[in-house]
Structures are given as C-alpha cells and as structure tokens.
C-alpha cells in the first residue's frame, strides 16, 4: 500500500516534489497546505491535489508528513501540530533544524531530515538524507524512493548537513553566477546574449554529466581539454590569477557557517 503523504508548506520545493511523485507508486499525496486560501485554490487546480490552509486537517489523513516551511517558523508549526504527529514519519527539509530539535518538538514521530535542491523542479535534484530518532530502515528507504523521484539521493551522517546545505542546497545559485559570468564573456567577445547563455548552460551541464556518468575526477577531464600552448590553458591561468578555487571553496565555507545557525 502506498504511503499517504501530506506536504506542510507547499512552496516551490514542495510543488517540485509533488510533480516528481506523480509516477511513484510508493507514495500517494493526500493533502498539501499553504497559509492563504487563494494560493490553496491555485495549488488544487494546478497540482490536482487536496490543498488546505489547516495543517492539522492535512496531517490527520497522512502516514508521512513533509515539513517544507522556513526554518524560522518550523518550531511554531510543529508546536501547533503537537499530538497530531504521533506515530507518523516526519520528514523535514528545513535548513539548519536538527533531528534533535525536531524530535523535541514532535517526540511521538519518527524523524528523517532531508536537504533537496531547486533542480528538483526538473527532476535533476540532489537530495541528502539522514535518519533521526525513531526512523527505521524501511522508513529511510521510503524517503529514498520519494526523493529519487526528483533526482539523485545520498544518505549521510547529520554532522555533514550544514556543508550539504551550502554545497548542494545553495550550490545552484553559485553555479548560476558562474554560468552567467561565462555567458558575459561570450557577449563581451561578440556573441548574442541568448546564444552565450545557451552555450554556457549546455557546456556546464555536459561537464557535470561527464563527471557523474564516467566517475572520473574533474581534474582528469580538465586535462584532456588542455593542450600545450592552447587557449584552454590560457583561460585556466587567468582563472587561477583570480584565485577562483579559493574564492569558491570559501563560498561554501561561509554558506555552511550561516546554515549552522538557521535553526536557532
């Protein structure tokens, strides 16, 4: 029997996950919630789901509750739900909110923490999971199936979640800045903007797929393009002059520091 899922706080990520679950026989979306009635009406039409403004009603008919609200209001939402979460699987995608915090607020629920990212919208997401108090292997496997509907899934210890939030959670924004910068270079050298963006985007996508599908180290793939006295090495040295490696690595470091405080 398919697990009955309620999505509490059905924003962009919740909608992306629901879209990916349409072909997943393991999960049946029974309800989603939002704060405003007119948004609920729109979601009901667009997603063909039972969209509500009452979290308690939504949770009542569910086995699995996906908490998809801003971390700053997660405590308030869980306190309002209270005993309604008893005996259910609570899956939180709230950045910075630990499984210990979730367990303290919903002691009767089994806890799984997840960190998906925005490419889930096109089923190219990256989600990292960790099991918390009360979560069984079967429940963790169910979560893997749920998030596999929108991309790749990995299971890690919770101690890694702040850097996961920075790297794969915030990473699409950083990647878009790099993509835009490459396109700017193309425009600077005469390409139309739309062409430059398409070339940069497809090139980044292709490079990423090469890494994932071949399993080879990015440095090895880079070296294959870098011929002696060629244009690639000239460009690479320019990047190194700008300390791009250090800047990008420090970007993840700083984002991870902020992520660690989001649940406080």
Give pTM, 2 decimals: 0.91
- CB-based contact 203:232 (threshold 8 Å): no
Residue 140: partners with Cβ closer than 8 Å, 6 or more residues away: 112, 129, 131, 155
- Residue 189 has a pLDDT of 97
Q: What is the predicted pLDDT for the residue at 4?
A: 94
Tokens of 149: 């509907």
Same fold, 3-162 and 169-259: no
**For residue 25, what pLDDT is reported?**
87
Q: Where are the domains of the chain?
A: 3-162, 169-259
Q: Are strands 110-115 and 125-131 parallel, antiparallel or unpaired?
A: antiparallel
Closest CA to 58 of 26, 24, 92, 35: 35
**CATH class of domain segment(s) 3-162:** alpha beta
Question: pLDDT tens across 101-136, in order?
Answer: 999 999 999 999 999 999 998 999 999 999 999 999
pLDDT recorded at residue 54 = 94
**Domain at 169-259: CATH code:** 1.10.3730.10
10-residue stretch averages of pLDDT, the chain, 264 residues long: 91 89 87 94 92 94 94 92 94 94 94 95 95 94 93 96 96 97 98 98 97 96 95 96 96 95 78
Q: Give which of 69, 70, 67, 97 is closest to 85, Cα–Cα.
A: 67
| Paired tokens of 233 | 């090495």
pLDDT digits (tens, 9 = 90+) for 53-69: 999 999 999 999 999 99
Which helix (H) or strand (E) segment holds residue 145: the answer is helix 137-148
Q: Are 63 and 4 in contact (CB under 8 A)?
A: yes
What are the two backbone dihedrals, phi and then psi, of residue 69, each rounded to the nearest 5 degrees? -115, 170
């Amino acid at each position: 029997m398919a697990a009955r899922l309620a999505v509490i706080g059905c924003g962009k990520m919740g909608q992306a996950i629901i879209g990916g679950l349409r072909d997943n026989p393991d999960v049946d979306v029974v309800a989603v919630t939002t704060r405003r009635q007119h948004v609920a009406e729109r979601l009901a039409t667009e997603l063909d789901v039972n969209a509500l403004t009452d979290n308690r009603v939504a949770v009542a008919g569910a086995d699995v509750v996906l908490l998809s609200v801003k971390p700053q209001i997660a405590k308030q939402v869980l306190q309002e739900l209270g005993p309604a979460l008893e005996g259910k699987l609570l899956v939180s995608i709230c950045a910075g909110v630990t499984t210990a915090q979730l367990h303290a607020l919903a002691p009767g629920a089994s806890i799984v923490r997840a960190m998906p990212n925005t490419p889930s919208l096109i089923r190219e997401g990256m989600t990292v999971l960790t099991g918390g108090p009360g979560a069984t292997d079967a429940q963790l496997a169910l979560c893997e199936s749920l998030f596999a509907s929108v991309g790749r899934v990995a299971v890690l210890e919770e101690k890694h979640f702040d850097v996961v939030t920075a790297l794969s959670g915030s990473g699409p924004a950083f990647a878009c800045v790099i993509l835009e910068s490459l396109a700017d270079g193309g425009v600077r050298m005469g390409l139309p903007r739309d062409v430059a963006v398409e070339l940069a985007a497809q090139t980044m996508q292709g490079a990423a797929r090469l890494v994932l599908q071949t399993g080879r180290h990015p440095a090895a793939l880079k070296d294959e393009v870098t011929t002696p006295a060629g244009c690639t090495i000239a460009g690479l040295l320019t990047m190194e002059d700008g300390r791009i490696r250090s800047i990008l690595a420090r970007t993840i470091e700083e984002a991870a520091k902020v992520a660690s405080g989001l649940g406080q």
